Amino acid sequence: MKQSHLFAKTIRNISDDVKSVSHKLLLRGGFIFPVSAGIYALSPLGFRVFEKIKNIIRNDFDQFEAQEISMPIVHPARIWKQTGRFQDIGDELWKIKNREGEDFVLAMTHEEIAAYIAETIIKTYKDLPILVNQFQVKIRDELRARGGMLRAKEFLMQDAYSFDKDEKGMDESYEKFYESYGRIFKNLSLEAVPVEASGGVMGQGQSHEFMLISEAGEDKIAFCEQCGYKANIEVLANAKICQKCKIELKETSAVELGQTFKLGLKYSRSLNVKFKDSNGKDNIVYMGSYGIGIGRAMAAVAEIHNDEKGLVWPQALSPFAAHLISLGQNKESDRVYTALLKSGIDVLYDDRLDKTPGEKFTDADLMGMPFRIVISAKTAVNKKAEVKKRNENKVSIVSYAELNNILQ
Ligand SMILES: [Zn+2]
């Protein structure tokens, strides 16, 4: 992609109201555009990071056949009234009316719709278990939307749902997603620790949050230094004492990256999701739900992988494999750019003619691609380029042909 026509610009100065490191860096690097409080657009850079995150999740879910689907964002309120959540959830649930005055809600989550659809699909025990997943926008009318993508009003989420014939089946499905989340966060270069959590508005069953220990987080977790027990402080009663070791628990801030829930029969009972067992008798389906916020994952990566000059993307998440910079050598650089594209290497190509080398380097550091390739008069004469890793100071001079090997 040529930077001269990139639908994004880096920003030098950010308002003092922007507090979190990730929010600052994503704005400065030109990854996100604020549209309204807690509502953001993605530039091609941010969009590419989202796609990388989604594919890491997809590749893992494919291993245990969580089928990708897509559910709507506008839901008839009658389905939410059936589970009671239309009344139970406060102003966070965004309620709207159509022209006939009928109530609708904007998707805060999708348990209701997943159960509603499952009711038409699941007939007998032979249909179970079923695991489905989607990447879909969620809308929550947050009172305090802040911290950029760490707490937004509208955000993309991976949300999966499991349907099983009994509690044992639900536990097994839960285990699959729990294990999968461990692998996914590792692949996202995020050190997420699972902690005991409360089901909140989802239900009363067992739940875990995958937490990133960080000052930027709004959640508080308690942990035992002796046995490693961890829990969201919300689930602890007044006594903040480890039940096992009888010592006081320590506290730290954390960002919730994902959460898993054993929903049991809560939604399937009210929406009548039944199956016939081998004796032809009707039974209620056991459900689970599992979610990761994609924007929050991107922000969490930005929160951790950076330096004083800007973002430092892990290779697996970087919008481009490399940032190619032409210093007055566009003819030569055009050829290298085309050759790299032909080899299947995604590069952002700074072909701008009106920028100084200093401005180009500053932008490259802000955007944070893992490799910077510079073609100048000095290198071009020998058909070579200067290569530098974003997180290292060492510069090497390599031939154009060698670039492929380094970047692949
Ligand atoms: Zn303990």
Question: What separation in Å is there between the alpha carbon of 249 and the centre of ligand 1?
Answer: 8
3-state secondary structure of 178: helix
Per-residue pLDDT of 312-347, as tens digits, reads 999 999 999 999 999 999 999 999 999 999 999 999
Question: What separation in Å is there between the alpha carbon of 196 and the centre of ligand 1?
Answer: 14
Segment 146-165 shows an average pLDDT of: 93
Pairwise CA distance, residues 346 & 343, whole Å: 9
Question: What separation in Å is there between the alpha carbon of 247 and the centre of ligand 1?
Answer: 7
DSSP-assigned letters across all residues of 229-258:
-EEEGGGS-S--B-TTT-SBPEEEEEEEEE
Between the CA of residue 46 and those of 26, 149, 228, what are the distances in Å?
8, 11, 36
Res 274 pLDDT > 80: yes
Pairwise CA distance, residues 158 & 220, whole Å: 23
Pairwise CA distance, residues 294 & 310, whole Å: 21
Question: What separation in Å is there between the alpha carbon of 187 and the centre of ligand 1?
Answer: 29
Pairwise CA distance, residues 26 & 352, whole Å: 22
Between the CA of residue 97 and those of 103, 109, 336, what are the distances in Å?
5, 18, 55
DSSP-assigned letters across all residues of 302-370:
HHHSEETTEE---TTT-SSSEEEEESS-HHHHHHHHHHHHHTT--EEEE--SSS-HHHHHHHHHHHT-S
Q: How many CA atoms lie within 13 A of 99 on its CB side?
A: 0
**In the prediction, which pLDDT does 146 show?**
74
Question: What separation in Å is there between the alpha carbon of 211 and the centre of ligand 1?
Answer: 18
Per-residue pLDDT of 18-76, as tens digits, reads 889 999 999 999 999 999 999 999 999 999 999 999 999 999 999 999 999 999 999 99
**In the prediction, which pLDDT does 127 show?**
98
Structural domains of the chain sorted by starting position, each given as residue range(s) with its CATH number in brackets:
3-217+253-306 (3.30.930.10), 320-407 (3.40.50.800)
Res 202 pLDDT > 90: no
- How confident is residue 374, by pLDDT bands cut at 50, 70 and 90? very high
Question: What separation in Å is there between the alpha carbon of 45 and the centre of ligand 1?
Answer: 44
**In the prediction, which pLDDT does 360 show?**
98
Residue 31, number of CB atoms within 10 A of its CB: 31
**In the prediction, which pLDDT does 382 show?**
96
**In the prediction, which pLDDT does 30 show?**
98
Nearest CA to 373 out of 344, 346, 342, 343 is that of 346
Res 363 pLDDT > 90: yes
Pairwise CA distance, residues 18 & 157, whole Å: 23
Question: What separation in Å is there between the alpha carbon of 223 and the centre of ligand 1?
Answer: 8
- Cβ < 5 A residues, ion ligand 1: 224, 226-227, 229, 242, 244-245
Phi/psi zone of residue 101: left (φ > 0), alpha (ψ -120 to 50 degrees), beta? left
Going 388 to 392 to 393 to 398, the CA torsion angle's sign is: negative
Pairwise CA distance, residues 169 & 36, whole Å: 43
| CB burial readout 321-346, b (16+ within 10 A) else e | bbbbbbbebbebbbebbeebeeeebe
Query: In the chain, what is the straight-line distance between the N-terminal and C-terminal CA atoms, in Å?
Result: 18
Pairwise CA distance, residues 253 & 303, whole Å: 14
- How confident is residue 204, by pLDDT bands cut at 50, 70 and 90? confident
Segment 203-226 shows an average pLDDT of: 91
Question: What separation in Å is there between the alpha carbon of 232 and the centre of ligand 1?
Answer: 15
Question: What separation in Å is there between the alpha carbon of 183 and the centre of ligand 1?
Answer: 25
Q: Note whether 344 and 361 are within 8 A (CB).
A: no
Question: What separation in Å is there between the alpha carbon of 58 and the centre of ligand 1?
Answer: 36
**In the prediction, which pLDDT does 218 show?**
87
**In the prediction, which pLDDT does 270 show?**
97
The alpha-carbon radius of gyration of the chain (Å, integer) is 24
**In the prediction, which pLDDT does 261 show?**
97
Res 194 pLDDT > 80: yes
**In the prediction, which pLDDT does 236 show?**
85
Segment 192-216 shows an average pLDDT of: 90
- Residues in CB range of 68: below 8 A, 6 or more apart: 58, 61, 132, 133, 134, 135
| Portion of the chain with pLDDT greater than 70, in percent | 100
Res 130 pLDDT > 90: yes
Question: What separation in Å is there between the alpha carbon of 248 and the centre of ligand 1?
Answer: 9
Counting every residue, how long is the chain? 408
Res 356 pLDDT > 80: yes
Res 394 pLDDT > 80: yes
Q: Which residues face 211 on adjacent strands?
A: 193, 256
Res 213 pLDDT > 90: yes
- How confident is residue 238, by pLDDT bands cut at 50, 70 and 90? confident
Res 226 pLDDT > 90: yes
**In the prediction, which pLDDT does 345 show?**
96
**In the prediction, which pLDDT does 55 show?**
98
Question: What separation in Å is there between the alpha carbon of 230 and the centre of ligand 1?
Answer: 9
Rounded to the nearest integer, the mean pLDDT of the chain is: 95
Question: What separation in Å is there between the alpha carbon of 148 and the centre of ligand 1?
Answer: 35
- How confident is residue 147, by pLDDT bands cut at 50, 70 and 90? confident
**In the prediction, which pLDDT does 169 show?**
98
Question: What separation in Å is there between the alpha carbon of 311 and the centre of ligand 1?
Answer: 37
More confident residue, 238 or 100: 100
Res 216 pLDDT > 90: no
Question: What separation in Å is there between the alpha carbon of 55 and the centre of ligand 1?
Answer: 37
**Whole-prediction pTM value?**
0.96
Question: What separation in Å is there between the alpha carbon of 337 and the centre of ligand 1?
Answer: 56
